[in-house]
Structure 1
Amino acid sequence: MAANAVGQATTLLIQLISVPLLLHYWGAAYYGEWLLLFTVPSYLTLSDVGLVAAVSNELAVSAAQQAYRRTIVLLSSGLVAVGYLSLLSTTGLYTLLSAVPYQQWLRIRLITEEESAWTLIALMLYVVLCLQQELLSGVYRAEGRYATGRLWITATRLVEFLIMALLVLLGGEAHRVAIAYALVRGVSLLGMSVDCRRRFSWVKQIHPRYVEWPVIRELVSPSVSFLVFALANAAVLQGSILLIGALLTPVHVVVYNTLRTLNNAIRQLVGVVTFSIWPEFTLAISQGYTHTAIDLHRRACQLTLWLAVGAIAGLELMGGPILHYWTQGAVQAEQPLFTFMLLATLLYTCWNTSATTLIAVNRHQSIALSFLIGSLGALGLGAVLMPHWGLVGLAAGFVVADAILVWVVLRQSLRLLEGERMKELFQSIITDFGWIRQVKQLHRPTNSVAKEMEP
């Protein structure tokens, strides 16, 4: 949890600083065009077809069972398969962009065509390197060093941001920033690979000769479901930006993205809990420790709900002054847009936390499809409402979709957690705080231990 807290705090810090920095040095219009360009290569995160997450889950299970022959095969096969898929997807996307007037479609006028081309190429390479590094971080998770893997990626993002800020301060433009991102990520991936080989002897045996395609075929179903999750997230994140760019203006893109960044601070806060319990769910459920899994689910839902409620209440009261100070008055906490976005964040927190039980053991196929349908439905409803309500229409679409997903996901999670009931779950979330006292007692030394600790 500490490693995830550092990671989320770093992400939040980067977002809080980068928005006013880029608004000041690039201006709202140029910054909006950068966001639109960044959106296009982001779809390459789908090119792994969900293999990164599925292989990482299986690596954790195999390592826990000390089946190191299988871990070698899994990692070797995963790295090669993700590499092939990335190459194919990158080639296809570049060919498509070369054949269509994407600058005209996205209304990009300040960034020249040549700069746009270099920006897109560098960002495509950057996304491919991110996928490889995310898969390699699964080695640390499998070996019980989850925190080390997260800190590697956190440090990489921090260095990327510092170099980006330096380039912008020196007058650097979009394509130079994109190239710097790719270079930093490549160096970090190389360093992580060397560190894994030094720490874990079995990683030294990773080689293409251990690639076994039947192992990959076994993971097709959970992998495709992770792809569906990624498609749904892309619809929520990149799809909403593209929809606003098509129906409104780049300035509206900046307004929505800034308000969403503030909302994402809450999602990143609760992500500290969900990402931390993911490895524990994998072990508890796969080894049949149902009672442990039920306790984890209750405490995770309780923590994320109350954290989200407190943070949302704080932003509802202080969001206006925070935005005014943060963006120097360039973006305001428009109402009821801001309230609708906060409500969608609360609902998303509820179902996303519960979904971790299913995701951790590759049993998330049905909820992945529900998430995709809900996301596309939210965009469709937003497209209908935006001409009349503006950005509020898009936010309202996500509120409706997330409210439905809360019910769908909870039912699926409780079906996996045999013996758990909806009523008992709600009672535990609202009233059961005795575990906090138990945790304190676990960390409080007894009198005999305390005496032994005395000099």
Structure 2
Amino acid sequence: MSMGVVRGIFNNGIANITQKVVRILDQLLLVPFFLTAWGAEYYGEWLTLSIVPSILAFSDLGFGSAACNGFVLAYAAGDKQQAANFYKSGFWIISGSVLLGIVISFSIVIVGNYAGWFAKAAIIASDAIWAVTLMMASKLISFYTQLAEGFFRGARRAATGSFLSSGNCLLNIIVAFVVLYMGCGVVGFAFSHFVISVFYTIFYWFLGRRMITFDGLKGKFVRKDIHMIMSKGIAYLATPVWQSIYFQGTTLVVRIVLGAEAVAVFNTVRTVCRSVNQMFGIINAAIFPELQFEYGRGNLLLVQRLFRIAVCLSIFIGFIGAIVLCMIGLPLYYWWIQNALMVEPMVWNIFMIGVFMNAVWWTSVVTYRMTNQPKYFAIASTLISCLSVGICYVMSEKLGLAGAALATTIFETVMVVCILPDACRQLGLKVSDLLGTYRDLVTKGTK
């Protein structure tokens, strides 16, 4: 393995860890400051108003990802004409998404004002309207960073892009402190967020664009490229869809069948489980840019090796994490929640089995973004998440909270069966190859 690949994986890992630290600071530091500066009711109304801009942010995750991944694969393969085509088509498709978002945003504001939604809030109606408008505009402008991320990955500077993203988040935190300290309300906060979004997007775009070159080639509109971006963009949108169905759907089922206290237990234990998943997220973020670039170059043997190492490492971490949580996790959980809730050991251990099963398939999902082939995962994950909600309802009625825990473990197990073999197939591997030696892997790859 070349030192350039190793260095890239290391830098990407550090950049992703930095991102997670900054996001944790965002959650830990700003919330109490918001409550102190605005009060619980005012802040609660702001969180409610923020729902619409947050949902709007999902609307470009598909098209931006499809255009970005297509661009990176073409650029890495040396096909700069195709890369220029994806650049041009992606830019205009995203611009179309922005225009559509503007229409939707204005419609929401007009309908909301006419229906009196803003007048019912603790925040002054005019302030609420301006704040929502500015936050939606901030989200729309950031659509362009999806494609711009491809510039950094194409130039093998993905870590630089991640550090810039962390810097932007950190700047938002600092400015938020200043704005709140000055006594500004939601309009001042939203305006500061909007200004930062505009300047950051412009800076991020032009810095990334300077890192790549098309050797004087001009991009062309090609119908199949546009069709590909649109169709695969819809498939990429399945990620927030299946996650919403699975996480929110099972939570709603537990609330309906078992009550509010069971929801508190269910979600807090699942939060503990997701803490182990954060490690898999770091692994994915570290290897993905290098995997995609090498795949675009046609270096399949190196891609297979990196994929095998990453998946096996995730399985090992998941196994150790599940064992540790089974042995000492429950006392730590009680300390964390100040003994406010009670969890049966059997229920806890069922959840921990799900932690291990999640480790088996989660890292393999990187294959679908790497190859820009998200269709199978989109269909499978959405169907399985819908199935899990139904299973959760039936099992919760029969077994109580243990049934809900069992439903989450069944979901993770079915995902292993459906996702891991297909992800391996995408790279010309079998599941058994993951457990083989590197020599076996190379031998199979050269046949």
Pairwise same-fold verdict (TM > 0.5): yes
Give the match's secondary structure for 1:50. Answer: helix
Identity %: 21
Which segment is superposed worse, 234-243 or 149-158? 234-243
Asked whether 1:229 is paired with 2:239, we answer yes
Asked whether 1:405 is paired with 2:419, we answer no
Choose the corresponding residue for 2:288, options 278, 302, 323: 278
Structure 2: stretches of 5+ with no match in the other structure = 1-12, 440-447
Give the corresponding residue for 2:3. none
Structure 1 residues 197 and 179 mapped into 2: Cα distance closer, same or farther (>3 Å)? same
Please tell me whether the aligned partners of residues 82 and 132 of structure 1 are also in contact (alpha carbons under 8 angstroms): yes
Q: CA deviation at 1:407?
A: 1.6
Q: CA deviation at 1:164?
A: 2.2
Give the corresponding residue for 1:352. 362
Give the Cα–Cα distance (whole angstroms) in 1 for the partners of residues 197 and 171 of structure 2: 9
Give the corresponding residue for 2:376. 366
Asked whether 1:298 is paired with 2:312, we answer no
Q: CA deviation at 1:303?
A: 2.4
Matches within 5 A, 1:286-325: 286-310=296-320, 313=324, 316-322=330-336
Give the Cα–Cα distance (whole angstroms) in 2 for the partners of residues 242 and 35 of structure 1: 20
Q: CA deviation at 1:152?
A: 1.2
Per-residue deviation, residues 254-313 of structure 1 (Å, max 9, x unmatched): 999888776655443321211222233324445554443332222212222343455564
Asked whether 1:220 is paired with 2:247, we answer no
Structure 1 residues 286 and 190 mapped into 2: Cα distance closer, same or farther (>3 Å)? closer
Please tell me whether the aligned partners of residues 375 and 398 of structure 1 are also in contact (alpha carbons under 8 angstroms): no
Structure 1 residues 388 and 305 mapped into 2: Cα distance closer, same or farther (>3 Å)? same
Asked whether 1:160 is paired with 2:169, we answer no
TM, length-normalised to structure 2: 0.75
Give the match's secondary structure for 1:48. Answer: helix
Q: CA deviation at 1:143?
A: 1.0
Structure 1: stretches of 5+ with no match in the other structure = 435-455
Please tell me whether the aligned partners of residues 103 and 109 of structure 1 are also in contact (alpha carbons under 8 angstroms): no
Give the corresponding residue for 2:141. 129
Q: CA deviation at 1:145?
A: 0.9
Opposite residue 302 of structure 2, the aligned amino acid is T
Give the Cα–Cα distance (whole angstroms) in 2 for the partners of residues 340 and 164 of structure 1: 41
Choose the corresponding residue for 1:416, options 416, 426, 430: 426
Which segment is superposed worse, 271-280 or 190-199? 190-199
Structure 1 residues 26 and 260 mapped into 2: Cα distance closer, same or farther (>3 Å)? farther
Which segment is superposed worse, 22-31 or 117-126? 22-31
Give the Cα–Cα distance (whole angstroms) in 2 for the partners of residues 217 and 76 of structure 1: 14
Structure 1 residues 322 and 2 mapped into 2: Cα distance closer, same or farther (>3 Å)? same
Please tell me whether the aligned partners of residues 141 and 197 of structure 2 are also in contact (alpha carbons under 8 angstroms): yes
Structure 1 residues 393 and 9 mapped into 2: Cα distance closer, same or farther (>3 Å)? farther
Please tell me whether the aligned partners of residues 68 and 146 of structure 2 are also in contact (alpha carbons under 8 angstroms): no
Q: CA deviation at 1:404?
A: 2.0
Give the corresponding residue for 1:52. 64
Which segment is superposed worse, 49-58 or 262-271? 262-271
Opposite residue 144 of structure 2, the aligned amino acid is Q
Give the Cα–Cα distance (whole angstroms) in 1 for the partners of residues 250 and 105 of structure 2: 20
Aligned length: 421
Choose the corresponding residue for 1:84, options 71, 96, 102: 96
Q: CA deviation at 1:100?
A: 5.6
Give the Cα–Cα distance (whole angstroms) in 1 for the partners of residues 337 and 114 of structure 2: 32
Which segment is superposed worse, 372-381 or 390-399? 390-399
Which segment is superposed worse, 224-233 or 154-163? 224-233
Give the Cα–Cα distance (whole angstroms) in 1 for the partners of residues 25 and 38 of structure 2: 19
Matches within 5 A, 1:61-100: 61-96=73-108, 98-99=110-111
Give the Cα–Cα distance (whole angstroms) in 1 for the partners of residues 197 and 372 of structure 2: 28
Structure 1 residues 361 and 424 mapped into 2: Cα distance closer, same or farther (>3 Å)? closer
Opposite residue 176 of structure 2, the aligned amino acid is M
Choose the corresponding residue for 2:17, options 5, 29, 37: 5
Give the Cα–Cα distance (whole angstroms) in 1 for the partners of residues 115 and 194 of structure 2: 22
Q: CA deviation at 1:187?
A: 1.1
Please tell me whether the aligned partners of residues 29 and 251 of structure 1 are also in contact (alpha carbons under 8 angstroms): no
Structure 1 residues 139 and 394 mapped into 2: Cα distance closer, same or farther (>3 Å)? farther
Structure 1 residues 163 and 49 mapped into 2: Cα distance closer, same or farther (>3 Å)? closer
Matches within 5 A, 1:114-263: 114-202=126-214, 210-235=220-245
Q: CA deviation at 1:159?
A: 1.0
Give the Cα–Cα distance (whole angstroms) in 2 for the partners of residues 134 and 243 of structure 1: 34
Which segment is superposed worse, 166-175 or 56-65? 166-175
Structure 1 residues 344 and 75 mapped into 2: Cα distance closer, same or farther (>3 Å)? farther
Q: CA deviation at 1:96?
A: 4.2
Per-residue deviation, residues 117-163 of structure 1 (Å, max 9, x unmatched): 33322222222222211221210101111111111111111111222
Q: CA deviation at 1:42?
A: 2.1
Structure 1 residues 94 and 150 mapped into 2: Cα distance closer, same or farther (>3 Å)? same
Please tell me whether the aligned partners of residues 284 and 293 of structure 1 are also in contact (alpha carbons under 8 angstroms): yes
Give the Cα–Cα distance (whole angstroms) in 1 for the partners of residues 188 and 410 of structure 2: 40
Give the Cα–Cα distance (whole angstroms) in 1 for the partners of residues 406 and 177 of structure 2: 35
Structure 1 residues 392 and 163 mapped into 2: Cα distance closer, same or farther (>3 Å)? farther
Give the match's secondary structure for 2:78. Answer: coil
Give the Cα–Cα distance (whole angstroms) in 2 for the partners of residues 349 and 175 of structure 1: 43
